[in-house]
Amino acid sequence: MSTENKTKKKLLYITDQQEYTDHGTIGPLFNGYLKKYYDVNIVYFTKFKNSFQVKGTDYVVPQQYKKEISCYMDSKGIDLSSYAYVFVRNKPDILKNILENRDRYGYKVGYRLSFPKTEEVYEAHKAKNSNTILDTVKNYFTKQSKKNLLSQCDLFMPTSKDMEDTFFADTGVRSFPLPAGLDPARITPHRESDGDERHFIYVGTLDSLREFEKVLVAFTRVNSDNWHLNISTLDSQFARNVMQKYPTISNKVSILKADTFSELMVQIDDCDVGIALLPNIPIYSTAIPAKTMDYYTCAIPTLLTDNPKNRTLFSDKDALYCNFGSDEIVAKLEKIIDMSQEEIAKMGHAGQEKLLAHKRNYEIMAKELSEELESL
């Protein structure tokens, strides 16, 4: 009997996202392809309202009730015992509450870790040499507490196995990595950018840990002026403040903001090459950057840090590589500027086809996740 003809089990996914967030993974995988196998409800949070709301299959919860989410949902007539699975995204305090109520409602618990945020903060302080002994001790106990919660889950869904092994090894929990992927419904062929310049795009934040200023410095040293850089970031003002340090290239850089995923796709589609260079430290070298998937959705090749993790998926035929050093970045940028549109298009399409053929395809990932859940 087909899945469509059976009564579907129910799955509740409690995100850490605010209402109206257009998140690349939540939308196509959990609120999209997985609905072929389960009746899925997504919980979002809001800072701006004090009342519970139902929007289609989504629930919107006032942020102040996050730590008592089970009791709150129950008070609003949501029968948690009707769910076979309850997933939590990124928030240990919410996970703690869901685990405490598991026996009462009888659901299985999954924890989705998209990025180890606590470790990112710790690494940021470490990079600035501002960590104290207290910071180190606090980070250790925070990590141990998170591991203890993880060990109680039925399924752990990290972004990659490498991330799990590096930050959350030895929990004993069943693991099913869920990396960022492509939505087959959104993919587009490579489109040549307008004009003669080579158009680059960087999507993301410009914080000190990511060291994006090293890339900006490299652009100031590029001999050719036949290029343009678009920076798409949610904090446009911060990006403008950063750019004030680089007046010699200010006319070569545009700062953009995308309020929706569709807007972001239009911005990427207007460019030739995506930039996903990150420092080669564990927080970044254990998972392929999610923005890479956004770039290949539009079949534009990506400039990646040359490390073993990135090499597990891409080759020199479908991605661009360099070490995360100023001289290497300058040399690579100049080489990319000299590449033909045909070379770039070929590389972008090759990467897109590779991702669609492998597990980096949300339609395939939804099927495999459903099979994993049924085997619990």
pLDDT value at position 118?
A: 47
For residue 258, give the 3-state DSSP assignment.
Answer: coil
Helix H, strand E, coil C: the string for 158-216 is ECCHHHHHHHCCCCCCCECCCCCCECCCCCCCCCCCCCCCEEEEEECCCCHHHCCHHHH
pTM above 0.95, yes or no: no
What are the angstrom distances between the C-alpha of 77 and each of 9, 56, 80, 285, 334?
19, 16, 9, 44, 60
Give the residue among 43, 148, 56, 153 at the shortest CA–CA distance from 98: 153
Long-range contacts of 63-67 (CB under 8 A, 24+ apart): 66/91, 66/93, 66/94, 67/93, 67/94, 67/97
pLDDT in tens, 282-338: 888 888 998 999 999 999 999 999 999 999 999 999 999 999 999 999 999 999 999
pLDDT value at position 126?
A: 52
pLDDT in tens, 107-147: 999 999 876 544 444 444 455 555 555 554 455 446 667 78
